[in-house]
Amino acid sequence: MLEKIKTLIEAKLLHKSGVPTSVEIIGENTVAFDTFSAGENRIFLCPISGVVSAPFNARRLNQSNTESIEFNQQISQIVKLLEQWLIKNKSISDGDFWNYNISNKIAQITSFRGSSGVLTPGNGIIGLESELIPAKGYDECLFLTFDGLNVPLAKRMIVLTESANGLNGFEAISSDLSEIVDLLISTSNAIRGKKYDRISFLYVDSLVDIEDIPEDFINHIIKHVMDSVIGKSRLHSQCLIFGDLDFILAARFESKEIQGLENQRFMPPFELILSSTNGLTKESLVELQNNIQHDEICWGNRWYISEYEDTHIDCEPPMFAFTAPIWDGNWSSSREISGEQIIT
């Protein structure tokens, strides 16, 4: 099954421009994805039973990325120097607690937006204020903004005929901030000069023989997932389950390979795509909605039924594809506690 999905995805990728993307199949216990490929996006196809390991897979990729290791070392040095400076100036009293909190914040930003998000003014741990000085340009001030602090660090003047280039041109407002500001500028420039690849894990299953599903329908689903999901964030995990409506109109929707903890990895928004709604009444769609819900999945109201109509597809009963994000500990709304990340 995974081989067929891989072949169809690769066929779609032939018609897409931009950064090259490779498609690889990995097993539940495979460790062949330990490093990022420079200048190439990657899609990993996994059996649906592997969703229980999604946080581990994502963490392994982050920890094994050489660029991330270098970035973490630089950011750790900046945080350490900031902590020392803030304590010296009595801006904070508990350096360990502050260090812990800002390190968690940086980890959340990095996991969702990548390294570039941390030192982007307004989105990370620093802020920027700009004031127009007539006939001169823009007087800008760089701030540390975290945990209620709004501490000025550096200033620069952008003349009217020039444009800002990252954090270049900022000068520390005092000599004891020079090392910190220099590190902020050099780290920001290093991040801006690198290309960060996008990694997608696609956990796949089929409740029927994949050969019984019309290829046009599978192609439609693959295109939909690739266009709307894959590549939209630096690291993302998604499930994709195929089947026919007999499975969920007759009984509760249940993949043959997942249960319990794995089901809890499913996160909204949920989407059910039907090959056709021909012959389905409003009452049967309500029954479908009731049957598809798992006790272990926090469905709420964030799920959708959409339709793919193709007169070339003649199959009874209609086929479906279910897709939803898989929680992998890399969302901006997650927080790390004692080495594990949870949704807050």
- pTM, two decimal places: 0.63
**Model pLDDT, residue 296:** 41
Same domain, 274 and 168: no
pLDDT tens for the chain, residues 1 to 344: 899 899 888 888 887 766 678 888 887 555 555 555 556 788 889 998 888 888 887 777 766 655 667 788 899 999 999 999 999 998 888 888 999 999 888 887 776 666 777 888 876 789 999 999 988 899 999 999 887 888 999 999 999 888 888 899 999 999 999 999 999 999 988 877 666 567 888 999 888 888 888 888 898 899 888 888 776 677 788 999 898 877 666 655 555 555 555 566 778 788 888 887 766 666 766 666 666 654 444 444 556 677 666 545 555 667 888 888 888 876 444 444 434 444 43
Residue of 197, 200, 198, 173 lying closest to 184 (CA atoms): 173
DSSP string, 189-221: HHHHTSPPP-EEEEEEEESS-GGGS-HHHHHHH
**Model pLDDT, residue 169:** 93
Domain hosting 257: range is 2-62+197-325
In a domain, 340, yes or no: no
In a domain, 85, yes or no: no
In DSSP terms, 335 is beta-bridged to 342
The answer to whether the beta carbons of residues 270 and 289 sit under 8 Å apart is no
In DSSP terms, 320 is beta-bridged to 243, 274
In a domain, 332, yes or no: no
Same domain, 49 and 152: no
Same domain, 45 and 120: no
In a domain, 273, yes or no: yes
Same domain, 215 and 284: yes
The residue among 137, 169, 195 that closes a domain is 195
Same domain, 173 and 224: no
CA distance 63 to 53: 15
Number of domains the chain contains: 2
In a domain, 100, yes or no: no
**Model pLDDT, residue 295:** 43
In a domain, 217, yes or no: yes
In a domain, 87, yes or no: no
**Model pLDDT, residue 84:** 93
